[in-house]
């Protein structure tokens, strides 16, 4: 199936826990981006990691990229209830920006 056709995966954790979400992509990519989408809103970009970077950090977020396995991960440390959202990765090659299937993260207070 195409990316974006599968039902979203779901994760439910307690506030304060750390979480890691994974994503794999099928085509050569130069950039992977991670997005967060809250209910009723469009996605908002969280972090961008390039093909020549293995890791990128931004506050409580850490993204990794493994070009050999064509996979990326997003970790959130010390989760908050406000981190509850759907998280997507997206990869791009020559301007075509394609989103992965996404993970529904619920952080319980």
Partner 1 sequence: GGIITQTPKFLIGQEGQKLTLKCQQNFNHDTMYWYRQDSGKGLRLIYYSITENDLQKGDLSEGYDASREKKSSFSLTVTSAQKNEMAVFLCASIDWGGPETLYFGSGTRLTVL
Binding region for partner 1 (CB under 8 A):
2-8, 31, 33, 35, 41-45, 48, 88, 90, 95-102
> 13 or 86: whose CB is closer to partner 1?
86
For the purposes of burial, counting CB atoms within 10 Å of the CB of 71, is it exposed (0-12), middle (13-18) or buried (19 or more)? middle
Gap between the Cα atoms of 27 and 12, Å rounded: 30
Q: Closest distance between partner 1 and the C-beta of residue 84, in Å?
A: 16
> 37 or 77: whose CB is closer to partner 1?
37
Q: Closest distance between partner 1 and the C-beta of residue 88, in Å?
A: 6
Q: Closest distance between partner 1 and the C-beta of residue 96, in Å?
A: 7
> 6 or 17: whose CB is closer to partner 1?
6
């Amino acid at each position: 199936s195409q990316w974006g056709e599968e039902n979203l995966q779901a994760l439910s954790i307690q506030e304060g826990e750390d979480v890691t979400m994974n994503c794999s992509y099928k085509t050569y990519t130069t950039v992977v981006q991670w997005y967060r989408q809250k209910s009723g809103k469009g996605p908002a970009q969280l972090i961008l990691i390039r093909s020549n970077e293995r890791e990128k950090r931004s506050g409580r977020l850490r993204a990794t990229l493994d070009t050999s396995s064509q996979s990326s991960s997003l970790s959130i440390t010390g989760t908050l209830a406000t981190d509850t959202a759907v998280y997507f990765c997206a990869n791009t090659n020559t301007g075509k920006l394609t989103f992965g299937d996404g993970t529904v993260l619920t952080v319980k207070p």
